[in-house]
Chains A and B, each alone.
Chain A
Amino acid sequence: AQKITQTQPGMFVQEKEAVTLDCTYDTSDPSYGLFWYKQPSSGEMIFLIYQGSYDQQNATEGRYSLNFQKARKSANLVISASQLGDSAMYFCAMSLKWSNFGNEKLTFGTGTRLTIIP
């Protein structure tokens, strides 16, 4: 069965430092996607970055990069030069196909609460 594990319930990081949020996954399906979302206290889910299982290069989006290590089944999120506005919950999620139409459903980890200290 597919599973996403985030082992860091909470992290405190000094402003302007880089931070790595850990995520490991488990699936026997060769085709999957990995997502990171940010959830501020308002509750909205903000998409940060996506990595497909067949993508050769690590995904990057501005200050966000995904350190994809397929053999180790890890997909860590790296935030460079952290800002106070980065304080939020962060969720790793994996998408797997569930229908012949090609649609996929997301399975989420339990999240990491990141707090940036001034």
Chain B
Amino acid sequence: DGGITQSPKYLFRKEGQNVTLSCEQNLNHDAMYWYRQDPGQGLRLIYYSQIVNDFQKGDIAEGYSVSREKKESFPLTVTSAQKNPTAFYLCASSIPRGTGAYGYTFGSGTRLTVV
């Protein structure tokens, strides 16, 4: 079955460390997204990408970096510059409206905790 795989499900980071969250999709979707969710709040867009080797900053990109070397993969690195990284991170992908079964597919998320 096609879908998005995020790993790991839980991640613990020490102060000052960089960590990378994995996001892999086998849906052949061009567009991919990273969202952050804080407790009791909605999702906020971190980065998004429409094609390989292209990505754009979202609303809260500071302290994060991404790469898009393959269509299937869109890893997110949480750097030490991100002062409050404890949150739930969701990866998503989509196809353009009008090109088929329009919609967004979400991964199951990674819960990052700073220890």
A residues near B, CB below 8 A? 4, 6, 33, 35, 42-45, 47, 50, 52, 91, 93, 95, 97-99, 101-111, 113
Contact = CB atoms under 8 A, between A and B. Distances in A.
A105 B51 CA distance: 14
Contact of B33 (A91, A102, A106): A106
8 contacts: A44-B109, A45-B106, A91-B42, A95-B97, A97-B97, A104-B97, A106-B45, A110-B41
Given A103-B30, A103-B50, A44 B106 contact: yes
Main secondary structure of the interface of A (DSSP, over half): strand
A98 B49 CA distance: 10
B31 interface: yes
Contact of A47 (B30, B97, B103, B109): B103
A110 B37 CA distance: 10
B103 A52 contact: no
A43 B88 contact: yes
Contacts of B108: 42-44
A95 B43 CA distance: 13
A98 B48 CA distance: 10
Given A33-B102, A108-B42, A111-B41, 16 more contacts: A6-B42, A33-B97, A35-B104, A44-B108, A45-B90, A52-B97, A91-B43, A101-B30, A101-B50, A101-B51, A102-B96, A103-B30, A106-B45, A106-B104, A110-B41, A110-B42
